[in-house]
Structure formats: C-alpha cells, structure tokens
Amino acid sequence: MPTADGKCRVGVLALQGSVVEHLDRLKQCGAEAEAVKTLPGLMEVDGLIIPGGESTTMGKLLKAFGLLDPLKKRIREGLPVWGTCAGLIL
C-alpha cells in the first residue's frame, strides 16, 4: 500500500546479491525503498526489484524461506517486478 504521503514502497529482494546498491540508488531517486527478507515484507511492498547475484542461490533461498510461491502469486496478481542480471534470470 502507498505510504501516507502517497508514495509507493519499492522493495529489493534481500536474500543475496547487490541489495545495498539497489537500495542506495532508489533512495537517491527519492523512492520509499526497503529490503525484503520476509513474507510480511513481501506482502507490504507496491513493487519489487530482484537484484543481480546468483540465480540458483536466490531460488534456493526463496524456497527455504517460504517466499517462492507467495512471490509467484503476487506477480500473477500484478505486482510490478524488475530483475537485474541474475534477478531477471530468476
């Protein structure tokens, strides 16, 4: 849900990869950006960036933390997602 001032919250999947770099750039642009590591965090963002890293490792971590199926469901329901490098492959 958008914040009280109407801004959308953009999450960066923070399981592995270039998380800090993506968060820094988003914040420099004035975005409400946050690291997403949990199911509640995934459910609260209005958009998600899946950063570069190692796609096999990210896939395994998504499964291990119970995030893979909820992430797929949110994407099917219209969650805007942008993947960079390995995030795009995932």
Structural contact between residues 1 and 10, judged by C-beta atoms closer than 8 angstroms: no
Average pLDDT over residues 62-75: 96
Residue 79: pLDDT band (50, 70, 90) is: very high
Query: What is the value of pTM for the model shown?
Result: 0.90
Question: For residues 50-67, b (16+ Cβ closer than 10 Å) or e, as one string?
Answer: bbbbebeebeebbeeeeb
Residue 2: pLDDT band (50, 70, 90) is: low
Residue 69: pLDDT band (50, 70, 90) is: very high
β-pairing, 47-50 vs 81-83, is parallel
Residue 4: pLDDT band (50, 70, 90) is: low
